[in-house]
Amino acid sequence: MTGAHDRRHTWLVVANPTAGGASTQLIGSVVELCRSQGVAVHTRLTGGPGGGTRLVIEALADASDGDRPDVVVAVGGDGTAREVAEALARASGRWDGGPPARPAPALLTVPAGTGNSFHRALWAERPWTAVVRAYAGTGPAADPDHQVGVRHLDLIRAVGDGRAVLLGASSGLIAHVTATAAGAELESVPGRERYHRAIAAALADVRPYPGRVLLDGVPLHEGLTTTVTVGGARHRVGAFEVLPLSALDDGLLDVCVVDGGLSAQERADLAPRIMGGKHVGHPRVAYGQGRRVTIERRDGHGLCLEHDGEVWAGAPAALTLEIVPGAVPVVAPARPVAG
């Protein structure tokens, strides 16, 4: 984490207009607030999946030294934050696992999606307006709880597929929740309430699968599986603190597996413990940390998967994830809120 910083002069705002809360009004408010803090602002709108990554890479490649942004503001949900984070990791050379070949701008998030778990992992409920004002100022506030700087966070790489994962990935129940929340029936339900309703629906229709989870090549779980989460951020689907021991920059993946042989009553009893991060050590929960995790489905079907709050269409029957340490510079509190 860096300490005091100089005023940041040029910011690039990358907004996803298809995100639930990223209205034209919000995007305009972000630009107006940034300009009121004395920074020059350029704005780009994403046009579909992967658009944020392409826009940022192109903007950094085209910028002259004097016009290169110091900060990239991601206005959208967790998917938008992931796309910008991948672009910054690739632009700096950190994505390839080595030391940075060149400096990259810092990522600053404005939450405008459904779960906004990444922003929550950094800032809890602190409003984005306060973050912008604090970081655009001439120096940190006297109160340590309001100091901001840059923190280099880990990214996750899907082996073979090559895609970047920011928050984490899940199979089974949490992926089912994500798919339900994205469905037409809940389309009009705003914010985290959509996830709460999706959780209730998914818990009423749990679908365990025969699986195996390897942590650094060693079996962590084998047998019926309710859900596997790898990350990353501590919270998933807006409510569950699935990975309560996770740190965002420790160079390790956390993995949590919930056994698939639970009765309906056992699931009901365990759910509030997971929401509060009190499930580690439960006899039907396996939890570990390492640098490489493999999730397998062993009945010939593809995994039900999500990553960063988005359904993984056409997911394979086996997925390996590995850590990319310190890959993304992110505007963050000097005193971490969670992880």
Residue 299 per-residue DSSP state: S
Residue 138: predicted pLDDT: 45
Residue 4: predicted pLDDT: 44
| SS3 assignment, position 39 | coil
Residue 204: predicted pLDDT: 82
Backbone angles phi, psi at 305, to 5 degrees: -130, 150
Estimate the crossing angle of helix 51-62 against helix 78-92, to 10 degrees. Answer: 40
Kindly give the confidence (pLDDT) of every residue in the chain, 339 residues in length, as a single tens digit, with 9 standing for 90 and above.
554 445 458 999 999 887 666 688 999 999 999 999 999 999 999 877 778 899 999 888 887 766 789 999 999 988 899 999 999 999 888 888 666 667 789 999 999 887 788 888 899 888 999 999 999 874 455 555 668 899 999 999 999 988 999 999 999 999 998 888 777 777 777 667 777 787 788 878 888 999 999 999 999 999 999 999 999 889 887 678 999 999 999 999 999 999 999 998 998 899 899 989 999 999 999 999 999 999 999 999 999 999 988 899 899 999 999 999 999 999 999 888 877
Which amino acid belongs to residue 301? H
Residue 326: predicted pLDDT: 92
The model carries a pTM of 0.88
Closest by CA to 308, choosing from 172, 178, 205, is 178
HSE value, Cβ hemisphere, 13 Å, CA-based, for 146: 14
Q: Which domains does the chain have, with CATH numbers?
A: 10-153+327-333 (3.40.50.10330), 164-326 (2.60.200.40)
Residue 113: predicted pLDDT: 80
Residue 231: predicted pLDDT: 94
What does the radius of gyration of the chain's CA atoms come to, in whole angstroms?
20
